[in-house]
Amino acid sequence: MTKLRGRRPTIDDVAREAGVSRGTVSRVLNGGHWVSDGAREQVERAIRSTGYRINPHARSLATSRTGSVGFLLTESYERFFADPNFLQILRACADALAEHGMTLILIMADTLEERSRATEYLTSGHVDGALVVSTHRDSQEFLRTLLESRLPVIFAGVPLGFEEQVGHATADDEGGARAMVEHLRSKGRTRLVHIAGPQDTSGGTSRLRAFREVLGDAYADELVAYGDYSRESGRRAMRELISREVPFDAVFCSNDLMAAGAMEVLAAAGIAVPEDVAVAGFDDAPVALETSPPLTTVRQPFDRVSAEMVRLLIDEIDGRPAGRVTLPTEIVERGTV
């Protein structure tokens, strides 16, 4: 059968082409439950042959679903565009949802006003669920309201204060940071300092905790300066560490952007990397290949984290309990260690 001309193909057209009942076609379109492999293949061939496309409005009326998912980011627009990790997660989540015929809607919620609007939108039936990225302690009340609405929600990373209450997919922040600090020590670096991320995020706290635990009795608060994951904060933190006149031969940064900023300050101070000071980051963001020399870092599996977020959210939308997944990281050796 060639594709129909002059009108939109219907389920009945697909059923006739496949030689199956209308109900079988409907079951295939809604997940393939209780359909044999042979019948499913016949229906899929018929869909391609007829050019049938699902009517999203009709499916929404029939299933009480919208086919849309919110991508909720509790960060500023400046941070969203400055940090390539967010764009990578957004793209990977959109690709994973597209495989299920679902659309991703970006929702920014940095200010109280934005969070109020986001809550109203997300809990008013416009989406089937939400993927929440980059949560901070000051957003806990907002997140509590969202969770109380019973909307299916999955988080990127472990949301502080809700660790055991919600589903999430995350990289092993603490394990990755511990491996990198141990790697620096295995290279003969004995005086380590740390540029930590914001302590109102799980990534910032976990990576600092790993640094502290590996150093053990050698740890002191003066070995740590704090940033907000931006490049400029890495510069400020590096200047602060240098000004303390605490000798160091390695710096572990909680993300790659801060590591890039720290390297700029080291270069301006005439401190050679890695000859005088080794530098390590976390993320394996594009900036890790742009520094001179290229940055040794901990790779987060952003594509896998995004795919798991989508899988867990669809499970929750379908009525299954919220799941939690932690994925391994790996060290990427380049020229700064």
Please tell me the distance from the alpha carbon of residue 263 to that of residue 321, in angstroms, as a whole number.
45
Please tell me the distance from the alpha carbon of residue 261 to that of residue 237, in angstroms, as a whole number.
9
Please tell me the distance from the alpha carbon of residue 244 to that of residue 310, in angstroms, as a whole number.
45
Give the tens place of pLDDT for each residue, 81-126: 778 888 899 999 999 999 888 999 999 888 888 888 988 888 888 8
Q: What are phi and psi of 132, to 5 degrees?
A: -110, 130
Q: What is the pLDDT of residue 322?
A: 83
| Residues 177, 211 contacting (CB under 8 angstroms) | yes
- The two tokens of residue 27 are 């079951």
- The two tokens of residue 242 are 């240098």
- The two tokens of residue 286 are 């594009």
Q: How far is CA 216 from CA 140, 192, 207, 228, in A?
A: 32, 12, 14, 25
Give the tens place of pLDDT for each residue, 243-259: 999 999 999 999 999 99
Query: In the predicted model, what is the mean pLDDT of residues 301-319?
Result: 93
Query: In the predicted model, what is the mean pLDDT of residues 60-89?
Result: 79
Please tell me the distance from the alpha carbon of residue 181 to that of residue 202, in angstroms, as a whole number.
18
Please tell me the distance from the alpha carbon of residue 249 to that of residue 124, in angstroms, as a whole number.
54
Give the tens place of pLDDT for each residue, 188-234: 999 999 999 999 888 999 999 999 999 999 999 999 999 999 999 99
Query: In the predicted model, what is the mean pLDDT of residues 39-60?
Result: 75
Query: In the predicted model, what is the mean pLDDT of residues 256-264?
Result: 98
Q: What is the pLDDT of residue 333?
A: 97
- The two tokens of residue 333 are 């050796």
pTM of the predicted model as reported, rounded to 2 decimal places? 0.77
Three-state DSSP at 183 gives helix
Q: What is the pLDDT of residue 61?
A: 45
pLDDT at position 75 over 90: no
| Residues 255, 195 contacting (CB under 8 angstroms) | no
Q: What is the pLDDT of residue 3?
A: 54
Residue percentage of the chain with pLDDT more than 70: 92
Give the tens place of pLDDT for each residue, 11-28: 888 899 999 988 888 778
Q: What is the pLDDT of residue 134?
A: 74
Considering the chain, what is the average pLDDT of its residues?
A: 89
Q: What is the pLDDT of residue 6?
A: 54
Q: How confident is the model at residue 64 (pLDDT cuts 50, 70, 90)?
A: low
Q: How confident is the model at residue 56 (pLDDT cuts 50, 70, 90)?
A: low
Q: How far is CA 153 from CA 125, 230, 280, 321, 323, in A?
A: 14, 27, 33, 11, 11
Q: What is the pLDDT of residue 120?
A: 87
pLDDT at position 54 over 70: no
The helix or strand, by DSSP H or E, that contains position 233, with its residue range, turns out to be helix 231-243
Give the tens place of pLDDT for each residue, 126-177: 899 999 987 776 667 777 888 788 889 999 988 877 777 789 999 999 999 9
